[in-house]
């Protein structure tokens, strides 16, 4: 399972726990803040960010008066998380928006780099010369 799928699975499980009135079954969070949050409205999903050894998930507890509270839950990652920056030569050819890179588990990052390195071999690289079809994300 890749990092995005893993973190989404964990985030949604915690979200369901919080919506049903239970505390997150894993991760570190401030229990006093959770008590305060429970006095607010139903939680909403907030942002997810990554650190080398943790996945940090935020849950927003809105308040009609505008005094929203944010509960932060820090999960220990099962392996180191790395950021794969877009190489300098790629950024130079991007013309729509900023592209910085993406986060991956270390093993997936190494696999992606090995795959990229394989593309530099003469037989594998030949396909990039000549007309190119438009790339589509699935």
> Does one domain contain both 41 and 85?
no
- Residue 131 is assigned to a structural domain of this protein: no
Tell me if 14 sits within 8 A of 27, measured CB to CB. Answer: yes
- Residue 64 is assigned to a structural domain of this protein: yes
Kindly report, residue by residue over 12-52, the tens digit of the pLDDT. Answer: 999 999 999 999 999 999 999 999 999 888 999 999 999 99
Total structural domains in the chain?
2
> Does one domain contain both 69 and 119?
no
> Does one domain contain both 8 and 48?
yes
> Does one domain contain both 10 and 68?
yes
Return d(Cα 121, Cα 138) in angstroms, integer.
26
> Does one domain contain both 27 and 71?
yes
pLDDT of residue 138: 54
Instruction: Look at residue 128 and give its three-state secondary structure.
Output: helix
- Please tell me what DSSP assigns to residue 27: S
Range of the domain at 109: 81-126
> Does one domain contain both 49 and 67?
yes
Tell me if 79 sits within 8 A of 69, measured CB to CB. Answer: no
Lowest-confidence range among 20-29, 49-58, 82-91?
82-91
pLDDT band at 93 (very low <50, low <70, confident <90, very high): low
- Residue 13 is assigned to a structural domain of this protein: yes
Query: What percent of the chain is modeled with pLDDT above 70?
Result: 88
- Residue 132 is assigned to a structural domain of this protein: no
> Does one domain contain both 68 and 108?
no
């Amino acid at each position: 399972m890749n990092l995005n799928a893993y973190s989404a699975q964990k985030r949604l499980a915690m979200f369901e726990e919080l919506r049903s009135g239970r505390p997150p079954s894993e991760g570190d969070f401030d229990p006093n803040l959770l008590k305060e949050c429970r006095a607010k409205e139903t939680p909403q999903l907030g942002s997810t960010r990554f650190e080398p050894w943790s996945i940090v998930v935020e849950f927003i507890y809105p308040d009609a008066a505008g005094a929203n509270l944010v509960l932060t839950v820090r999960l220990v990652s099962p392996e180191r998380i790395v950021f794969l920056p877009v190489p300098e030569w790629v950024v130079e050819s991007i013309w729509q928006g900023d592209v910085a890179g993406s986060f991956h588990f270390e093993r997936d990052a190494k696999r992606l780099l090995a795959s990229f390195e394989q593309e530099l071999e003469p037989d594998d690289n030949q396909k990039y010369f000549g007309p190119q079809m438009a790339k589509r994300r699935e």
